[in-house]
Structure 1
Amino acid sequence: MSSAAASGSSHHIPSGFLTVYVGEVRMRFLIPTRFLNLPIFVYLLNIAEEEYGFKFSGGIVLPCEVDFFKQVLKFLEKNEKKYGNLEVHEFLKLIQEVGFDSSSSSSSCKESKRSCSRFTPLLHNKARI
Structure 2
Amino acid sequence: MPSILHAKQILKLQSLLTRSQLSVSSTTAEVPKGHFAVYVGETEKKRFVVPISYLNNPSFQKLLSHAEEEFGFNHPMGGVTIPCKEESFIDLTSHLNSS
Same fold, TM-score > 0.5, yes or no: yes
1:77 correspondence with 2:94: no
- Whichever structure has more helix as a proportion of its residues is 2
Write out aligned runs for 1:21-100 (5 A). Answer: 21-23=39-41, 24-57=43-76, 58-79=78-99
Do the aligned partners of 2:39 and 2:45 also contact (CA within 8 Å) in 1?
yes
Structure 1 residues not aligned, in runs of 5+:
1-8, 80-129
Q: Which runs of 5+ in 2 are unaligned?
A: 1-26
| Bigger radius of gyration among the two | 1
Query: How far did residue 55 of structure 1 move?
Result: 2.1
Identity of aligned residues (%): 38
Deviations 1:56-99 (A, max 9, x none): 222100111000111111111112xxxxxxxxxxxxxxxxxxxx
Give TM-score scaled by structure 2 length.
0.65
Q: CA RMSD in A?
A: 1.4
CA deviation after TM superposition for structure 1 residue 54, in Å:
2.6
Q: What is the CA–CA distance in structure 1 between the aligned matches of 2:66 and 2:28, rounded to whole Å? A: 28
- The one-letter amino acid paired with 1:44 is L
The count of corresponding residues between Structure 1 and Structure 2 is: 71
